[in-house]
Chains A and B, each alone.
Chain A
Amino acid sequence: MEFTILMYLVPAMIMFGCGIYGFITRKNMIAILISLELMLNAVDINFAVFNRFLFPGQMEGMFFSLFAIGLAAAETALAIAIVINVYRAVRNVDIRQLTKMKF
């Protein structure tokens, strides 16, 4: 058998779907962040796979994934700083409880 592009895209898509599901259903902020990482990761795979299969001589997709990983690191660091700060303020990371700034 041969590796086709679909063989890589389908798992990435399932990963992305799980990310969506988790992002919507989770109540814990860190769990939501985990779902977010899943989605980002799925997109990274897509970039790399498309680059490899369609434009093997170039590196744009790979570099995009590279920078996306860097951005994900930055974003996670910031998000976790916020989560810790919120936890310090209300001793909780459940988003249903965090309605103080809503109104």
Chain B
Amino acid sequence: MESLGSIIAYFIIAIAIIVFSVLAVTSGKILRAATYLLFVLFATAGIYFQIGYEFLGAVQIAVYAGGIMVLFVFSILLTHKPGANAPRLENHKLWLGLSAAVLGAGVCLYSLFEYGSMMVSRMPDNFDINIHQIGQALLSTDKFGYLLPFEAISVLLLACIIGGVVIARKR
């Protein structure tokens, strides 16, 4: 039995995810869509915190909510006229999108509710992952060590920075 506080927190998070996700893809204003996305990202970070992945939640906020959102906002401001006379976002191919989303969700939901009972439904308690272990694993070369992917992704980020500069610079 969980504490009342965490139950309330969960419902706030879940409702925020559902509502802001829908708003993010239906909103008529691009800046608002970006803001709703920000809220979804925060709610996701909330989920991470709740299930005990504090480090992941911190990264989620720092990289996603902090870094990527800034990029989004910058690009929106660069490519859209600000103010009230900004053109409204319009959606097209509504039935196409709706059918794909509903079909996908339907199959997933069906299988979740039909076979989800096979999985352990309760959250295990024996859980003690701290930042020390994460740091060790991230820079270790042993089994369950992640040094190689860590280096690979750092190189990828570097390449990405260079690529972004090359693509976006003025000729």
Contacts and interface: CB of A to CB of B under 8 A. Distances in A.
Q: Indicate if A touches B (C-beta under 8 A).
A: yes
Interface residues of A, number: 73
Given A25-B25, A38-B25, A7 B92 contact: no
B79 A30 contact: yes
B89 A28 contact: yes
Contacts of B149: 63, 67
B106 to A, nearest CB: 9
Given A6-B121, A69-B64, A93-B79, A24 B153 contact: no
Contacts of A71: 153, 156
A17 B102 contact: yes
Nearest to B50: A3
Given A21-B98, A30-B76, A53-B124, A41 B153 contact: no
B21 A3 contact: no
A33 B17 contact: no
A6 B126 contact: no
Interface string B29-43: 010011001001100
12 contacts: A3-B6, A10-B109, A17-B102, A18-B24, A34-B25, A41-B44, A45-B44, A52-B123, A67-B149, A74-B157, A78-B164, A80-B71
